[in-house]
Amino acid sequence: MTDVTERVPKVPPLVEMTEFWTDLSPESRAEILSEAQLLDFAAGETIEIDFGLMISGTAAIEYMVGNGRRCLVELFHSGDLIDLCRRERRPQGRLVGLGYGSMLVLSVADFEACARHHADVLAAYRRRVEDQTGRLRDHINDLAVKTPLERIVAVLFELRRWPEARLGEATDIILPILRKDIAAYTGMKPETVSRALRRLLEAGLIRSGAHDRETITLIDPPVLRQIANGSASKTLEEGR
CB atoms < 10 A from the CB of 50, how many? 15
Euclidean distance between CA atoms 25 and 3, whole angstroms: 19
Smallest separation (angstroms) from DNA to the CB of 58:
13
50: phi then psi, degrees, rounded to nearest 5: -100, -35
Amino acid in position 167: L
Select the span of 15-23, 30-38, 131-139, 215-223 touching its own copies (CB under 8 A): 131-139
By beta-carbon proximity to its own copies, the closer residue of 10 and 86 is 86
User: 219 Cβ partners below 8 Å, 6+ apart?
Assistant: 171, 204, 205, 206, 207
Q: Does 70 bind DNA (CB under 7 A)?
A: no
Order the strands of the 172-174 sheet from edge to edge: 172-174, 215-218, 206-208
Closest CA to 216 of 235, 191, 202, 197: 197
By beta-carbon proximity to DNA, the closer residue of 83 and 181 is 181
Q: Does 234 bind its own copies (CB under 8 A)?
A: no
Q: Does 25 bind its own copies (CB under 8 A)?
A: no
Smallest separation (angstroms) from its own copies to the CB of 65:
3
Answer with the entry of its own copies, DNA, none that 141 interacts with (C-beta below 5 to 8 A by kind): its own copies
User: 232 Cβ partners below 8 Å, 6+ apart?
Assistant: 150, 223, 226
Answer with the entry of DNA, its own copies, none that 70 interacts with (C-beta below 5 to 8 A by kind): its own copies
Answer with the entry of its own copies, DNA, none that 197 interacts with (C-beta below 5 to 8 A by kind): DNA
Binders of its own copies among residues 138 to 167 (CB under 8 A) are: 138-141, 143-146
The packing angle between helices 148-160 and 179-186, to 10°, is 110
Q: Does 178 bind DNA (CB under 7 A)?
A: yes
What x-and-dash track marks residues 138-167 binding DNA by CB under 7 A?
---------xx-------------------
Spell out where the chain has E strands: 37-41, 51-56, 59-65, 69-76, 81-83, 93-97, 101-105, 172-174, 206-208, 215-218
Q: Does 126 bind its own copies (CB under 8 A)?
A: yes
Select the span of 34-42, 119-127, 170-178, 201-209 touching its own copies (CB under 8 A): 119-127
